[in-house]
Structure 1
Amino acid sequence: MAQPWRKSDGRVGPGPEFSLAGCAAALEAVLGGGTARVWFKESSGRNLRFRDWIAPRGALSKLYPQGQVPEDLMERLLSEYCHHLYIHNCVQTGAGLVIHLDHPALFKEVLSNLPFYTRPLNSVLPKKKCIILNCMPLHGSKGPETLTINHLRAILLADHLAELLRLQGYVVRGVPNLQQNAASCNFLRLIGVNWTTSQRTSSDNKRISDFKKILSESIYTQHGQLEAPPDQIRNKLLKGVQYKVDLKQFIKDKELEGYDTNLDVALVKEEALRQIAELQHTILQGALDQCLVIHVVGCEEEFQQQKIDVLWRILNREIEKVTQLQDQTPLQRPDLRDLSLRHLVCGPVKIMGKHSQIGAVQYFEFRRSQMLEASVVKYGNKVQGDSWSQIINSMTSAVIRFELLATAHRNPLNLDLAQGVNISTKGTKSGAFVMYNCARLATLFHHFNNSVEKGLYPHFPEISQLNFSALREEGEWLLLYNYIIPFRELLAQIIHSMNSDKGIHLTVNTETVCKFLVNLSMDFSSYYNRVHILGEPMEHLLNQMFTRLQLMKGLREVFHTALGTLHIPPPNQL
């Protein structure tokens, strides 16, 4: 449920008057297409010159003779939805039924209520839902030097997903809790990762002790001497093993689906019990109606994490059995009726060329040195001091996040570190290009504010005084229609994608934000290079300048919010 919103004219309503999802649903309902999709939103600049929505003749021919929509349906569409959907006209053409929206009215609606469209408001969820993000690469880390680039991809994915979930109103908790001031924490802060830190407590030790007692009595524990063959590698693997648990039998007994068919036995070490104990403790920290645990893991560690998943299920089942037999208060455990365990798996990262063996820290330093070199070439001796060091670190973090997150998380990723194109602000697929265009907006408003202080321009007027019919340039409608209007819906759809999968594996379209920012940067750059926004301070030109600046404010907010989900500080200078 959306929060109440006060509009620019003082009215209070449940939300914006226009959304692409609402528009599509209403249009589909009128034509009666059933489950078949009829309407399509246009997005390319070429097609937006002629129409905003189209029901292609091919789709209409399945519903109406020769694809001709009856006049009464068109009249109903215009009479019932014209105002709500901002429809200017509806016309039958050779290509199909096309709709032109009322551009000036939509410019006014959206640009007068920018916070609603550009800043996701926390949803009021019907139940207090909690997501536990268990980031496997952070467990037992002895320091940042142990992190691989595969690990870094999973860590950045978990960090990004956590922020997206919080924006949608979820309670998000990260596991493990890292020790404060640890070296790994310093590296994570350097790359902008906002992960949970705390001091260790003794409660986990008590839980581990309880788990050991349960396993020693479990029917799934194979008792007897652990085999110790003379092979040195096998001896090393068995070192620290305390229990041998039959996972395969448990999976068969409980009819669990989706797990690797090769899961057989688990050689349980204390570090696995410690991970489960911390997960248990995290869930019990607050009263929650529903809880989902997402194991974020690289593909090379997926099999081991499935073992820990099943082991946790065994421990909870055994606790429940003991509780029922002894009629006593359960040992501290979550209510499994509302606990769901899923796995978010990252594909492998392959480093091309001579740098194939570098770790996460070396990867960051390598990209940072490239960014520093590119900045010195562009800005010369100005590139020095703490402020420039922060800028270089921020730009490096942006480059790395876009490299590792712009590809769907399950897909493999190839990186060629020798290619400088990923660092250049002219490379339209890079995080540096996104940061450069975000900085152009900061510079634009810096110039405007300086001009106001010097008396060259008047102060920005009230939004209600602007005439948005002045926004007639082709790129202006494209920027509003493709980026500002759908932005909130886009963030919500990423989270909704979590509900599309069944089984233990989870797919989340987290690459969406990076791709969205790259496309936005390309279209904004094209517009910015073509249109002179800060014009001459002549009376008859001021309205157009201010309406364009208001559009740029909307784009700036979208940039900042989207970069915020990646924990990338927006740059304030070129």
Structure 2
Amino acid sequence: MAAKNNVSERCDVDLSNLVELTLKVFEENSITAKKLSICRKTRDLKLGDMVIPRGSCNDVPQQVLDKLAENTTDPNLPSMLQYSTVSSDKYNSVVFHANRPQSFKNIIKNTLTEGDNYGENPVKDSNKVVFINSLCNIEETENLPKCSGAELIRNIVVLQHLERILETNGYKVSTNVSKSHQETTDIYEAFGVKWSETTIDQTAFDQSLKSTVENIKTCPYQEEIKRYNILSESSNSKQSPVIFNLRNFIAENNLPVGKIGYDKNLSYVDVITDDGISDEVKKAVYLSTTTTTTSSNTQQDIHLLHLISQRQVFLQQQITLLLQYISTSLTQSILVFGDVTSRIGSENQHQPTFSSQQLYRLRYDQMLESSIMKYGDEVKEEKWKERIQYLTVAGLRFEMLTTTVRNNVKLDLGEDCLDNRNGSFVLYNSARLSTLFKNYHEAVKKGHYPPLPDIDEVDFTALREEEEWSLLFNYIYIYPEIVSSCIDDLGLNSTSLLAKIHIHKVANFLVSFSRSLSSYYSRIHILVDNKAHLMGTMFARLYLVKAAHQVLQNGLKLLNIEPPSQL
């Protein structure tokens, strides 16, 4: 991975230090770098960990490599990742080899010291609260449809993850989820959705709505549609419909159009219809009133992030433009999530649309059947119900979050579906490590093992397996970077209307991490016989998996999943 500005603070410091030292040595020795790019390797780590590809700079003589080694292998450098040697190979002008024992100690110690805060980033230099507009409706109409079907579950899951990922990256977040409708109450409860108890002042809203309409009627973007009806005199008494010219508004305000902006087909939006004030204007005024209240309560400006489904994009852009006219100082961006489609097995044939309740029941029944096969008929007892619900919701969260936000989620509805097992697999690995430490502490109490010594007393040269270094270097060390890179562009200061937020990164990271961890755990015995010559390796491995467990727990919490304490 090349050096970027959007990496986590810890990785950024390490990489910045390495880049700075390298540039200094290069300048002193007249080495020309076209565009210095230091990349982190992900495989064949025994051949090196960080590299400068040959295309990035000229060949580096041995004496310069020696000078680089002299400058970068100082153990007193303020970096988590320490280096032992520097070389070159066929493909890279410079190869940095990590000092593994010291790096193991530094990174594991840092992970465990930060604990539940590991992966959190410093507060952003922003005085704005991010207000997420999603599942927030003032009323149901044909023009403002409620989120329905399996799409509702994806909306809930993405919204909750978005809140966590923004807060972890240092943003202040606010939402205003409307109370669920009767038919979706059970889904809201299953996923722990909390709707807002605050309500807007209806009198203030009505006044704002009235003044907004009067303002639009006299603005340069309004157009009145004249009535011509010679058959009905009564129709002449009705107020003529009024529309807002979006195309002119976009052009005069130089707003982005196309892939990064508004739909080029946007032309008009209703302001006044035969039935009165349009739903689009009502929603825009409602959002204006709500964000103004939030800004007043927090004493901070608001950035409004609209989280919407693909089918709601055109309508939301109309509302967004009306809102921009009403509240000129309000910054806005849109995050669009794809639809939820279905298939059976490998067949991509279209399946009937599933409601959120049907999808939840299907996954619940599949989880129940799987648990019965594993644990027997006792699973049917009432005490297992809550656990099956927990596993079902966790599985659905992973199903909805392992796909990039704009892409459709393709659900496999077959009986042998494997799509919903990623969640259970990650939870199983987390629970397995919880059980490991529970067994270890019980053995310590019984005198079977000595207590875990302070990390400064542990000899990490005992960790010689390549898998062990891969777990640390490819997962534990880069976890904060994964979290930070989820927020690419929130749209606070961007000319783009579309926010770039990668909701799939954490879930896919946890799945990949769990596979590597499971492979290692299945091959290596952590708790060994209590023999003096084995204790050093056992302690080092216990610290490694303790750090791995911390990362798994923190990642699960970002997905709104409470880490399990037992199998």
- With the length of structure 2 as denominator, give the TM-score of the two structures: 0.82
Q: Structure 1 residues 22 and 419 mapped into 2: Cα distance closer, same or farther (>3 Å)?
A: farther
CA pair 315-279 structure 1, distance change in 2 beyond 3 A:
same
CA contact (8 A) 1:422 1:432 kept: no
Q: Residue 552 of structure 2 corresponds to which residue in structure 1?
A: 559
- For 2:374 and 2:281, locate their aligned partners in 1 and report how far apart those are by CA, in whole Å: 53
Judge conservation of contact 1:20–1:486 (CA < 8 Å) in 2.
no
CA deviation digits over 1:237-270, x for unaligned, max 9? xxx9974222222222222222111111112455
SS at match of 1:446: helix
Please name the residue that 1:469 is paired with: 461
- Could you tell me which residue of structure 2 aligns to residue 109 of structure 1? 106
Counterpart for residue 349 of structure 1: 340
Match for residue 279 of structure 1?
287
What is the deviation of 1:140? 4.0
Q: Does 1:264 align with 2:267?
A: yes
CA distance in 1 between counterparts of 2:48 and 2:520 reads 20
CA 241–302 in structure 1, closer or farther in 2 if over 3 Å, else same:
farther
**Match status 1:173 vs 2:167:** no
Separation (CA, whole Å) in 2 of partners of 1:195 and 1:28: 52
Q: Give the equivalent residue in structure 2 for 1:309.
A: 320
Q: CA deviation at 1:111?
A: 1.8
Letter in structure 2 aligned against 1:379: Y
Asked if structure 1 preserves the Cα contact closer than 8 Å seen for 2:372 and 2:379, the reply is yes
Residues 412, 309 of structure 1: alpha-carbon distance in 2 compared, 3 angstrom cutoff: same
CA distance in 2, matches of 1:256, 1:18: 34
- Asked whether 1:130 is paired with 2:122, we answer no
Aligned to 2:434, which of 433, 442, 447? Answer: 442
Q: CA deviation at 1:424?
A: 7.0
- State how many pairs are aligned: 518
Amino acid at match of 1:518: V
**1: CA distance, partners of 2:9 / 2:252:** 49
The CA distance in 2 between the partners of 1:517 and 1:302, in whole Å, is: 31
Shift of 1:570: 1.2
Show the counterpart of 2:385: 389
Deviation, structure 1 residue 72: 3.1
C-alpha distance after superposition, 1:193-221 (max 9, x if no partner): 45544345434344333323333433433
Q: 1:164 to 1:150 in 2, by over 3 A?
A: same
2: distance between equivalents of 1:34 and 1:227? 74
Q: How far 1:565 moved relative to its partner? A: 1.0
Q: CA RMSD in A?
A: 3.3
Which residue does 1:29 correspond to in 2?
23
306-315 or 32-41: bigger deviation? 32-41
1:320-346 deviations in Å (ceiling 9; x for gaps): xxxxxxxxxxxxxxxx1xx32111111
Q: Classify 1:439/1:219 alpha carbon distance in 2 versus 1 (closer, same or farther; 3 Å).
A: same
What CA distance in whole angstroms lies between the structure 2 residues aligned with 1:501 and 1:340?
Answer: 10
Please give the residue correspondences for 1:73-92 in structure 2 after superposition, counting only pairs within 5 Å.
74-79=66-71, 82-83=74-75, 84=77, 85=79, 86-92=82-88
1:314 is aligned with what amino acid?
Y
**2: distance between equivalents of 1:227 and 1:398?**
59
SS of 2:433's equivalent?
Answer: helix
Tell me, yes or no, if structure 1 residue 487 matches structure 2 residue 479: yes
Structure 2: runs of 5+ lacking an equivalent: 1-7, 232-238, 272-276, 345-349
Match of 1:360 in 2: 356
Secondary structure at the counterpart of residue 468 of structure 2: helix
2:47 corresponds to which residue?
50
Aligned mates of 1:28, 1:296 — CA distance in 2? 43
The corresponding residue for 1:299 is: 310
The one-letter amino acid of 1:279's match is: L
Determine whether 1:539 maps to 2:540.
Answer: no
TM-score (norm 1): 0.81
Contact 2:69 2:85 (8 Å CA) reproduced: no
Distance 2:286 2:21 in 1: 49
Calculate percent identity across the aligned residue pairs.
Answer: 27
Mapped partners of 1:102, 1:126: distance in 2: 35
Matched residues in 2 for 1:482 and 1:15: separation?
17
Q: d(CA) in 2 for partners of 1:526 and 1:387?
A: 32
Secondary structure (helix, strand or coil) at the match of 1:433 reads helix
1:178 aligns to what SS in structure 2? coil
Tell me if structure 2 keeps the 8 A contact 1:247–1:266. Answer: yes
Indicate how the Cα distance of structure 1 residues 93 and 313 shifts in structure 2: closer, same or farther if over 3 A, else same: closer
User: Whole-Å Cα distance in 2 between the matches of residues 185 and 299 of structure 1?
Assistant: 24
Deviates more, 1:538-547 or 1:363-372: 538-547
Instruction: Give the CA deviation at 1:464.
Output: 2.5
| Greater Cα shift, 159-168 or 200-209 | 200-209
Specify the code of the residue in structure 1 equivalent to 2:521. Answer: Y
- CA gap of 1:204–1:408, structure 2 versus 1, over 3 A, is same
CA shift, 1:225, in A, is: 5.5
For residue 34 of structure 1, report the CA deviation from its aligned partner: 5.3
Distance 1:424 1:365, change over 3 A: closer
CA contact (8 A) 1:498 1:507 kept: yes
Q: Is the 8 A contact 1:122 1:169 kept in 2?
A: yes
Q: CA deviation at 1:347?
A: 2.2
Secondary structure in structure 2 of the residue aligned to 1:211:
helix
**Partner amino acid, structure 2, of 1:276:** A
Counterparts of 1:212 and 1:564, CA distance in 2:
44
